[in-house]
Amino acid sequence: MIGPHLRELRQKRNLTLKQLAELTGLSTGLLSQVERSIHDPSLETLRRLAKTLEVPLFSLFAEDDVQQVAVVRRERRMKVGSPHGGIGYTRLSPGSGRLELLEGRLEPGAASSEEPWSHPSEECVLAQAGELLVEVGDSRIRLEPGDSCYFDSRVPHRFINPGTDTATFLVSVTPPSY
């Protein structure tokens, strides 16, 4: 699903594979494999592509069917994870609106990214199970199940699981971003 849509986005911007590779810092070979659906991109690769192409990350999973009311069945949810393990996201919203709802799973000791990062959105995170440490700028907020936290995503941020159990959480992002 990602490959053909990525090719379409790249071509609409009149970019060659080599130009996109230079802009993202990814190899031409990797991008070619992703476009031909030979390789599934990692979360970091998707973030780089979305940021460079200026599209929400989950929009790379093309869904052109915009409806007034949308149902996302459990078995048809979009999922993305890190190749190193530790973090995984499942999109609960349809991906065609101005709000994105994600379910996150973070393994003990894992972080959502190596370094805090930013994007032009607002987020609200709700801890469901385990412990979740939310780093936003210089702030470190510890959330337990039922606790929530809102922040401006333009401030570098990330999620960390300092506990010994898997942390699960919901994240609402508006507008959807990379």
User: What domains can you pick out in the chain, each with its CATH number?
Assistant: 2-60 (1.10.260.40), 74-174 (2.60.120.10)
- Between residues 97 and 138, the one the model is more confident about: 138
What pLDDT does residue 76 have? 83
The gap between the terminal CA atoms of the chain, to the nearest Å, is: 18
Tens digits of per-residue pLDDT, 109-168?
Answer: 999 988 998 988 999 999 999 999 999 999 999 999 999 999 999 999 999 999 999 999
What is the pLDDT, as a whole number, of residue 63?
58
Segment 16-21 mean pLDDT: 93
Whether 105 has a pLDDT exceeding 90, the answer reads yes
Q: Report pLDDT digits (tens) over 38-92.
A: 888 888 888 889 889 988 777 777 555 556 777 878 888 878 777 667 888 888 8
| Cα–Cα–Cα angle for 40, 1, 124, rounded to 5 degrees | 80
pLDDT at 2: 83
pLDDT of residue 87: 87
The predicted structure's pLDDT at residue 110: 94
pLDDT for res 86: 86
Task: Return the pLDDT at 56.
Answer: 79
Count the Cβ atoms, other than its own, within 10 Å of residue 35.
20
Q: Could you identify the residue written with the tokens 């053909």? A: 4
If one counts every other C-beta atom within 10 angstroms of the C-beta of residue 72, the result is 16
pTM for the complete prediction? 0.69
Helix (H, G, I), strand (E, B) or coil at 117: strand
pLDDT for 99 beyond 80: yes
Distance, CA of 12 to CA of 9 (rounded, Å): 5
